[in-house]
Amino acid sequence: MSQYIEIHPQNPQPRLIRQAVDIIQSGGVIAYPTDSSYALGCRIGEKNAVERIRRIRQLDDKHNFTLVCRDLSELGLYAKVDTSTFRLIKAHTPGPYTFILNATREVPRILLHPKRRTIGVRVPEHPITQALLEELGEPLMSVSLIMPGEKESLSDPYEMRDQLDHLVDLIIDGGMGGLEPSTVVSLTDSEPEVLRVGAGDPEPFERERA
């Protein structure tokens, strides 16, 4: 049975954040809120946890996982970013965007696109997410919490209890979440390309291409 804890969405309780991070550090899979929709997450390099997430979402190996980061200070370790790309990302973070970037050798192979060596990077603006990352001290590996056959993310923590019990180790109830996942923008080439329109406004990146 999954653990289930309620964390205040604006003032996360440190004791409960530490409890959640203990589960992550022990190789667990969690469902947690972000500034777009709820997500599934685990620690970097936890092969078994990554495979569990793939099974829950029914994902193949071509689906990009996302590095959910506390801020951009961790970006250079995991992604290859030039000055202009960094400035563009900085102008729109924290926020509901996922940026697809060329990965460095620090990213475990299991998390990469099998042909393109790319990785998604995200800096969410959500107090619970930020508290988890601060306590963990490293990025989370994540995907949006969209169940197989559905187009919208799960947003009701009580519904998550019904659908994810025994599938994840922890469900964090941070209140009702958004239905839309993050907007995905590829920055692997010279011009931005919006791959998915979600909670973030795509217009700034479409304007960059004009």
Q: For residue 210, is it within any domain?
A: no
- Please give the pLDDT value at position 209: 61
Q: For residue 208, is it within any domain?
A: no
- Domain of residue 73 covers 1-203
Q: For residue 81, is it within any domain?
A: yes
Q: For residue 191, is it within any domain?
A: yes
- Please give the pLDDT value at position 29: 98
Where do we find the tokens 């791959």? 195
CA–CA distance from 166 to each of 16, 29, 57, 161 (Å)?
Answer: 20, 11, 14, 9
Q: For residue 175, is it within any domain?
A: yes
* Amino acid, single-letter form, for residue 202: P
Report how many domains make up the chain.
Answer: 1
- Please give the pLDDT value at position 116: 78
pLDDT, tens digit only, all 210 positions of the chain: 899 999 999 999 999 999 999 999 999 999 999 999 999 999 998 999 999 999 999 998 777 789 999 999 988 888 999 999 999 999 999 999 999 999 888 777 767 666 778 889 999 999 999 999 999 999 999 999 999 999 889 999 999 999 999 999 999 999 998 888 999 999 998 889 999 999 999 999 987 665
Reported residue count of the chain is: 210
- Please give the pLDDT value at position 114: 67
- Please give the pLDDT value at position 40: 97
The Cα–Cα gap between 205 and 138 comes to: 28
What CATH number does residue 189 fall under? Answer: 3.90.870.10
- Please give the pLDDT value at position 131: 98
Q: For residue 125, is it within any domain?
A: yes
Q: For residue 209, is it within any domain?
A: no
- Please give the pLDDT value at position 210: 52
